[in-house]
Structures are given as C-alpha cells and as structure tokens.
Structure 1
C-alpha cells in the first residue's frame, strides 16, 4: 500500500532530541546504573559488563570465542527516512567494532507513530537499516516493533571476538597515543539542519560520516600495540576520553588544534548553534576536565558535541601509530589523525 507523503511532517519535528543527542546525560546515567547493576562476580564469563561504561557486553563462550552484544536506537537526526535508517544502523553496529569484534547478525528495534507518519516513510527507514546490514554482510534476522509517540529506530547487534584480542575502553597505558578515526561536529550540523541552515554539501558530509561503518575496529583487535578502543558518540570527545582515563586511572591529554572537524562546523558553533546535549554533557563531567585559558564557548561546544555514529578512538603504543593510521587510510578514513596522548596522573582530561 502506498500513502501520500506530501503532507508528512519532518521526521526531526517529531523528536525532542535527535541521534545520540537523545542520550541520558552521563552523570545521571552513571547514577541510574549504579543503583541497578548486578554484581559481576556472579557471572565469571561476563568479561565486559557495566563497570567501565564500555561499548558492548562481552560474554566468553570458550578460550577462542566470546559473544559481543549491544543495542542502540534513537529518534531522527535527519528528515530523510532512508538516511535516518542508515545512520541509526551504522551507529548501532559501531559498538561491536569498538570492542574489536566482527558483527554476526542484527535485530531491528522499531517504534513509530503509525497514525502520524505515512507507511511509505516508515518502510524507507527500515530499508535504510537493511542496507547497512547488507553492507556489513550480516542478516537482519528479526526484531520488535511498537506504536510510539516519537519515531525510534535502531538495532540489537550481535558479534563475535577472540577474548584474548578484544579491546576494552579501560586498558590504555601511560605514553599511549590517541587517534580519532572520524571528524567531529555531527551534533552541531544536526542543530543547523533543524534550523534550516545546513546546505546540501554540509548535509552530505554529515551523512557520509555517520553512515561509514567503523570496520577498522575488527582489524585493530589484532594489533598488539592497540591497548584500548572505544567510539565517540553521545557524550562527545571529552566524555569518551574521560571514560578511557577513568578506566585506566590515567590522564588523557587532548590537542585541540589537531582535531579533525566536519566542514562548516566551526562557523555554526561561532554562531551559537549547537545541541542542548553539549551543555548537559559539560555539566556532567566538566569538573574532571581542564580547558586552556581563553577557550570560547564555541570551542568547548565542539569538544562536548554529541557524535552520532562517530569515529573510533584508539589508544595505542607510539610505535603502532603509523600502522593504525595506515589501516584507517586503507579503509577510507582519510580524516583519522593523532589527537593526544595518555599520561600518568589522576583520571581526568586536559585540553591543550
């Protein structure tokens, strides 16, 4: 059945927050999880749980195999339904790559306002997600759907990893180099899009970044020089760098001048265009971050900007830097670059 989409509302108009900007603020999330988490000692084969806010759960099957399980879903960050489905699916599978795993299959999570959105629009969202699963060479094997007030889409991702090769976010070492795989600014561009200020070139740059699968994560698991791995998503670069620092008991130093940034992002930030999640992020973890004197609100907003389907953040030995950058370049991540280092010190982030 086809439906008339000419009077359909903009997808982003139906959501109070888009993409990973929908996330619960990190401080509140930690409080909620702390009140509900089961003690890990009851599950000796649960290698990764909630202890370090890692990207996915990992459960050991045997000495050679462990299951990687994750789920991620959110409300629309763009108005094109096919692009929304692609972005949400790419973002969900990123958590498996961020553990060094290989995706095996996915299940769809679908919540749609059935009486508000044309059925063709909903079908295009699902098609977008299916296209990403085909690109990842995995089956979309099922899922669950509900009639909801706001449109929601995402995936449950199931993957596999050798437990001796998995990469946690807690194993960085002093002296490690930090490498970021994708440019920053997705949240700022999404805020510009909502205000009808983003041109076609800016939109394409945002979609291209957010639909690029973080495949290098699987290969990075095999590099002995890679010690820790995560992806930069809703808590921004500072939030996920702080997770690395907390997990390892080290200080993460970020070189703000070296950060890769999507086109037009700095200009929008200077105009005060960014998401509310930037402020919530800063309120949650700003006490553990040292910024350089004279840093502007716009510059800080880029550091706290929620990234939807953002890049991998790699902590590796200095001698592995060229190998890691070469892998990123070979797989089409031309913006990947060194952005900082890990050093001895308290669990905090220092921006230089």
Structure 2
C-alpha cells in the first residue's frame, strides 16, 4: 500500500506541503485566551525544589537544577509546514525549536525529532528531506540529534524536543524584568504576513528570501546575552506575536510596557502586504485574546495592530535590560549578524499592559 502510494508521485518537488494543512508555522498555536482557559486549574504536577522554571509563567522552557553550577533546560516545539520546500521546512522548524533554549540564556546540547507524516500521501523522499533539513540545523548549532518519535498523521508535522544546559546564575526568565528596563528586539517582524502571502501565491522571490533568512537564523546570541548581568529578562517572539510575548513579560514581572512603533524592525515586504489585509487568521485570534490590554496611539496606521499581533515563526529574541547595558546587548546582536536588532521601548512600574506610540 505504501509502495504504490509513494510511487504514484513521480516528482517529489511537485508536492506543495502548505496545501496539506489548515495552518502553518507558529500560526498554528492555540489562541492565547483559549490556551489560558484550557490550562486553568490544571495541576503543574508534583512541586520540586529544584524546578527553577515550570509552567506558571508561560516561559520558553522548563528548567531543572542539577547542581549549583548547572541546570537542565528542556523544551519542545513542532508545527505544520510554513513553506513548500521540505528541506526549508525542516530547517525552519528546527531553528524555531532550538530558539527556546537560547531564549533562556542556555546552550543546547541534545535534540529529539518529533515527526508526524501522512505516509500514504507524501513520498518518502519528501519526508527524508524534511528530516535532513532539521539535521542540518542541529549540526550548525553543534548539538546531537539523537533519535525521536514518529506517527502516521493526516497533516505533516515536524519539530524537535531540545535540551540544554545553563548556569543557574545566568538563567534568563520572562518574569524578572525591572522598572526602567529597555526593550530590544533581535529580528524584524512580519513572518506571519509573508507566510500567508506565500500560501496564497502572492509572495515574490525577494519576499521568500526575506522569510527564509529570518526563520533559519539561529538565535545563538542568546548564550552571550545570558552572560550579561544587565539582561534581566528574555523571551523569543513566536506565535502570539510581539504584543503577546511582551505581555507575558509584563504580567510575570508586574510592569507596564511602552513600544515605539516607528522603531520596530519590520520586513520590507511585510510593510507592503500588511496594509492590504494579508496575513494569517492567528492575527485576529491574538488580538481577540489580549487586545484589551493594549492601548494604541490613534495616529498609528489602521493596520499597525496587525503587525504587532502577527505570529512569528522562529522570531527574534526580546530582551529586557538595564539602560547601561543597551550598548552591550546591541553590540552582541550586531556582532552575531542580527543587523536589524533595535531598541523598541521601555518598561515601567504600573498595571501590566502595553502602550504603543507612533513616535
């Protein structure tokens, strides 16, 4: 049965992975409000004195103290295709999964593959290329890809479970920001807009190059940022958009944020497409979940909120740091080829929420 299904497709390159799914990338995430309701009252399991980070703060990974010098960082991330090229899909999914470890200031050491594939629909060569793309990224990151688990699934799914190590003193959480901290974003926004345009056949070659460059750039700079004492909190911007993940910092730290829209790094093609209403459905779901916690400057373009809620796949690190550390943080980003990393706002005492200003 499998042999006949596989041989029925003579050219694996003719397969469009994005047509086999209802969503793609981190836009597949369950909406924040729905997720909070689903998890309400769910026990976090047996409390353990060495569990440094669990599920309480919606952080990027779990952290378990092994001894005074080392803590284990563990995370998992997987999704459906955001692009059609199988190797590119594998690269993007792996880069995105490893990012959660970097966002904790940690060094990844080991990964396990998570694979769900419609084996009667996809040629084995396509599945192989997806896994090769993920393996390529693991080699670049210098981590072992030591196996994994696979199932026969109606839609293609790929990702990684990743483990890393961090010195407890250098651990970066998303709930330890301080009043007066400066916010710095490492990658430009707009990935969700570009991926939606791609799925509709509206993305040109230049736009696809932008999409691929951002989503396959490893956030390895997180290791260097973890060593900076002036970096108080850190997360990565993924499926809940910039506003959603910034709000997690605000809620966890009990602070209010102000963001300067004109300072945000944004992909050029996304700036062209967003005013046309192009974007994934997750934009509306995100805004419905947390828009009541956001104040928008009335002088902003009427489409600005869409970019702010745009689900990023393998997005940039969002750093909360002391004002005197801004230079070192930006130097770390720029030295690691994050050319568009920029200061985008500040945190202050106040009711948790985000104000977005035009200038």
**What are the Cα deviations for residues 17-61 of structure 1, in whole angstroms up to 9, with x where unaligned?**
100000000111112222323267x21111001111000000001
State the match for 1:130 in structure 2.
135
SS in 2 for 1:36: coil
State the match for 1:342 in structure 2.
347
Match of 2:29 among 12, 20, 23: 23
Q: How does 1:141-160 map to 2 (within 5 A)?
A: 141-160=146-165
State the match for 1:5 in structure 2.
11
State the match for 2:356 in structure 1.
351
**Residue 293, structure 1, aligned to residue 290, structure 2:** no
Q: How does 1:57-96 map to 2 (within 5 A)?
A: 57-96=62-101
State the match for 1:284 in structure 2.
289
Which stretches of structure 1, 4 residues or more, deviate above 4 A after TM superposition?
A: none
Deviates more, 1:193-202 or 1:222-231: 193-202
In structure 2, relative to structure 1, the CA distance for the partners of 1:124 and 1:225 (3 Å cut) is same
Are 1:5 and 1:121, in contact at CA under 8 Å, matched by a contact in 2? Answer: no
Deviates more, 1:304-313 or 1:4-13: 4-13
Distance (whole Å) between structure 1 residues aligned to residue 169 and residue 33 of structure 2: 31
Gaps of 5+ in 2: none
State the match for 2:38 in structure 1.
32
Distance (whole Å) between structure 1 residues aligned to residue 13 and residue 260 of structure 2: 47
Are 1:239 and 1:285, in contact at CA under 8 Å, matched by a contact in 2? Answer: yes
TM-score between both structures, scaled by the size of structure 1: 0.97
In structure 2, relative to structure 1, the CA distance for the partners of 1:64 and 1:266 (3 Å cut) is same
CA apart distance, 1:9: 3.5
**Residue 227, structure 1, aligned to residue 248, structure 2:** no
TM-score between both structures, scaled by the size of structure 2: 0.96
Distance (whole Å) between structure 1 residues aligned to residue 43 and residue 169 of structure 2: 25
State the match for 1:139 in structure 2.
144
Distance (whole Å) between structure 2 residues aligned to residue 122 and residue 238 of structure 1: 35
Are 2:110 and 2:144, in contact at CA under 8 Å, matched by a contact in 1? Answer: yes
SS in 1 for 2:122: coil
SS in 2 for 1:103: strand
Are 1:52 and 1:169, in contact at CA under 8 Å, matched by a contact in 2? Answer: yes
Distance (whole Å) between structure 2 residues aligned to residue 43 and residue 62 of structure 1: 14
**What are the Cα deviations for residues 270-324 of structure 1, in whole angstroms up to 9, with x where unaligned?**
1110110000000001111111114344211000000000000000000000000
Distance (whole Å) between structure 2 residues aligned to residue 185 and residue 218 of structure 1: 25
Q: How does 1:44-59 map to 2 (within 5 A)?
A: 44-59=49-64
Are 2:12 and 2:123, in contact at CA under 8 Å, matched by a contact in 1? Answer: no
Are 2:81 and 2:156, in contact at CA under 8 Å, matched by a contact in 1? Answer: yes
State the match for 1:14 in structure 2.
20
Measured on the aligned residues, the alpha-carbon RMSD in Å equals: 1.3
Are 2:293 and 2:354, in contact at CA under 8 Å, matched by a contact in 1? Answer: yes
Are 2:44 and 2:54, in contact at CA under 8 Å, matched by a contact in 1? Answer: no
Are 1:8 and 1:118, in contact at CA under 8 Å, matched by a contact in 2? Answer: no
Distance (whole Å) between structure 2 residues aligned to residue 323 and residue 37 of structure 1: 40
Distance (whole Å) between structure 1 residues aligned to residue 257 and residue 45 of structure 2: 28
CA apart distance, 1:8: 4.4
State the match for 1:161 in structure 2.
166
CA apart distance, 1:186: 0.1
Q: How many residues align?
A: 351
State the match for 1:306 in structure 2.
311
CA apart distance, 1:86: 0.1
Gaps of 5+ in 1: none
Distance (whole Å) between structure 1 residues aligned to residue 143 and residue 13 of structure 2: 35
In structure 2, relative to structure 1, the CA distance for the partners of 1:231 and 1:7 (3 Å cut) is closer
